[in-house]
Amino acid sequence: MLYTLLCYHDEAVTTAWSEDEDAAVMEKLETVHQRWADRLRPVVRLMPTSAATTLRKSDDVVLDGPFAETKEQLLGFYLLEADTLETALAFARDLAQANPGGAYEVRPVMAYYPDRTAPDDAAAG
């Protein structure tokens, strides 16, 4: 089954990291990535929320920023092939050991292909 791990953290904290602090976290995460390489699918680190644009359908208005009313912002996500939720949680714990602070939301993924023809590499439970 395919799981997504949504990575949340206080963006004010992560953007305040020095280049050395950021590089140290990325190095620890790379070690985790190498351990789980056979199960990892795309890994995405999002640009800061200051680079985000939001379209609100109800007003058909485009706004600068995500305007999420939360302390922690979505800063990235992983797609992981795992047989069980416990395996996906083990990966999340591994990530949490490498990254100071934040939270990881683990959620099963259901592939969506309107024409019902999924690419061969689209693994979904």
The reported pLDDT for the residue numbered 57 is 76
> Is pLDDT of 69 > 80?
no
Say how far apart CA 46 and CA 20 lie, in whole Å.
Answer: 19
Which residues make beta-bridge pairs with 54? 63
> Is pLDDT of 117 > 70?
no
Q: Which residue has the tokens 């953290």?
A: 9
For residue range 73-116, list pLDDT tens digits in order: 899 999 999 999 999 999 999 999 999 888 999 999 987 777 76
Burial class (CB in 10 A: 0-12, 13-18, 19+), 78: buried
For residue range 19-60, list pLDDT tens digits in order: 999 999 999 999 999 999 999 999 999 998 889 888 877 766
Say how far apart CA 81 and CA 64 lie, in whole Å.
Answer: 34
Higher pLDDT, 120 or 92: 92
Which residues make beta-bridge pairs with 62? 55
Domain ranges for the chain: 2-108
Among 96, 106, 101, 78, which Cα is nearest to 11's?
A: 101
Please name the helix (run of DSSP H) or strand (run of DSSP E) that holds residue 74, with its range, or none: strand 73-81
**CATH 3.40.640.10 corresponds to the domain 2-108:** no
The reported pLDDT for the residue numbered 32 is 97
Longest dimension (CA), the chain: 46
The reported pLDDT for the residue numbered 102 is 87
Q: 62 with 54: CB under 8 angstroms?
A: yes
